[in-house]
Amino acid sequence: MAERQDLAGKHIVLGLSGGVACYKAAELTRSLVKAGATVQVVMTEAAEAFITAVTMQALSNRPVYTSQWDARPGNNMAHINLTRERPQGRAAPSPPPEGDQEPWGGPAVPEGADAVLIAPASADFIAKLVQGRADDLLSLLCLARPAERVPLLVAPAMNREMWAHPATQRNVAQLRADGALVLGPAAGDQACGEIGDGRMLEADELRDELIASFQPKLLAGKKLLITAGPTFEAIDPVRGITNHSSGKMGFAIARAAQEAGAEVTLIAGPVHLPTPPHVRRIDVQSAQQMFDAVLPQAPLHDVFVATAAVADWRPAVMNEHKIKKDGKKLAPSFELTENPDILAAVASLPDKPWCVGFAAESQDLLTHAREKLLRKNVPLIVGNLGPATFGRDDNTLVLVDAAGHRELPAGDKLALARQLVAEIARRTAGV
């Protein structure tokens, strides 16, 4: 599948302060460029001790700036120009419709950087930002950037003791209070040989956090409960009844909802997918376990999205031991019993959330989706052809409600998830 272009049209100033995590900045630059962004690298003198400007220029395909005395700009004001000017040939994103706001609160602007990302941000550089010090090019441009339209994102990277120090924690708290978005840090092995908090996030994590920062916060203040993946109904200790659902659509919706500002709880069947950032995840196996996890949570949420492909039936009795061949070539038989209907149960609660159901069908999609809409008594059913989408990264969806149906253009699952989230936001506005 082609590389996603979630940062197409975006111009990012990437600042590197001193730290061994500068090696991750090389992969981050590559990742941002692949996602469609132009990247202007600015390095402190300390950063140059860890990685060369030549490397960063090769990866960004742009000259790297390292000094406030750089004479290349005609006005000799790199600290001003770097956040005001957009690279030649790179168009600014289209302005939003009248009345809409950019994710960071201001109207779209015709030129300039779209964000400043400091990765890595050392303890010393964070202190500079908080104190308003401006004794090098990178701290200068952070101080001089038009803060109302050029957000500052900071990815800390330092030893665990430095991160835990009260001075650092005070500085980070003040940095957030001043409007910066702090990304991480993560916990794990550190270059010094110690283990703990202070690792800079990985390149793909930082890329996704940057992408998320640009998404409109359409669900800010909302709580979403989402189910995803298949269920597994045990026949014996090693066998069971399941289906081909990969969970990718549900996980994409969880990511898109979190990007849109929602607080998200994801209840997942047995899948091998990483948890989307900042999403609370509960793992289950069977339909009954999913039911038991969903029902207490549902009244605490504003929206319930039932994406999971829940098995309709389960064995009435699970065999204690593996069912063995008996040599008579007779297939074993066992009685099935119906699983609880999770979506219908949530939709019948007195304090129910706004419900979205999914219908994965093999034929007559619209007919079955509309029947499900009426049977479950929910406002929206999202239909797709299961055999055509299970395990794939793309999908085709149709939205079915009491008024009719509408198809969403075929696309990758994250793009469709963002469209669905926008639809949910529109339909639940004021609810």
Give the whole-angstrom CA distance, residue 283 versus residue 237. Answer: 19
**Residue 338 bridge partners (DSSP):** 313
**Catalytic site residue 142?**
no
372 is in an annotated binding site: yes
343 is in an annotated binding site: yes
User: Max alpha carbon distance in the chain (Å)?
Assistant: 91
List Cα–Cα distances, 38 to 53, 60, 88, 211, 416, in angstroms.
Answer: 17, 7, 11, 14, 25
- 244 Cβ contact partners less than 8 Å away, ≥ 6 residues apart: 230, 386, 387, 390, 391
Catalytic choice (22, 142, 192, 355): 192
312 is in an annotated binding site: yes
322 is in an annotated binding site: yes
Under DSSP, is residue 249 helix (H, G, I), strand (E, B) or coil? helix
342 is in an annotated binding site: yes
- Contact, 263 vs 222, CB < 8 A? yes
340 is in an annotated binding site: yes
Under DSSP, is residue 367 helix (H, G, I), strand (E, B) or coil? helix
Task: Kindly report the number of other CB atoms within 10 A of residue 107's CB atom.
Answer: 13
- Contact, 182 vs 200, CB < 8 A? no
Tell me 309's DSSP state.
B
358 is in an annotated binding site: yes
- Contact, 361 vs 383, CB < 8 A? yes
| Binding residue ranges | 312, 322, 340-343, 358, 372, 376
Active-site amino acid positions:
192
Q: Which residues are annotated as a binding site for CTP?
A: 312, 322, 340-343, 358, 372, 376
